[in-house]
Amino acid sequence: MAYIDKILQPNEQIIRTGRMHWIVYAPGMLILFVALVVAFASPAQPDVIPIIAAVIALFGVAQLAGAGFEKWTTEIVESVIVSQSFLGRMLGYGNVVVRGTGAGIEGLHHIADPLDLRSAIVVR
């Protein structure tokens, strides 16, 4: 059971659940790709290259873990403002700003289908 399900008040219901777009993992995947390229490059210093590749890979794993943690821990709904870049519009993701009554303003980045999420919240 999700946290939001536990804190619902009587007569409250979840109409739509938003989710973060896969693009949040792109920076970490790019860093891991660079680590692979470095690992398989023909090295001038063969002893140093695996260490450099491992350090780069650690940064990639840390980036992926951070994106996963943000995706796992983000649950907010109230009034919503959506912004999308050109790439975000093409791939179906955007930023959502949630104006909460108790928590202030929260910015959520790389949300999948942000216009559908906003419509589900605002129309109800």
Beta strand pairing status for 93-99 and 105-112?
antiparallel
Provide the β-strand partners of residue 95.
Answer: 83
pLDDT digit string, tens, across residues 51-80:
889 999 999 999 999 988 877 766 656 666
Beta strand pairing status for 93-99 and 19-20?
unpaired
Same domain, 25 and 69: yes
Provide the β-strand partners of residue 93.
Answer: 112
User: Reduced to 3 states, what is the DSSP secondary structure of residue 10?
Assistant: coil
Task: Decide: pTM greater than 0.85.
Answer: no
Same domain, 70 and 88: no
**End position of a domain, from candidates 54, 74, 94:** 74
The answer to whether residue 1 is domain-embedded is no
CA distances from 58 to 15, 26, 63, 75, 120 (A): 39, 15, 9, 28, 39
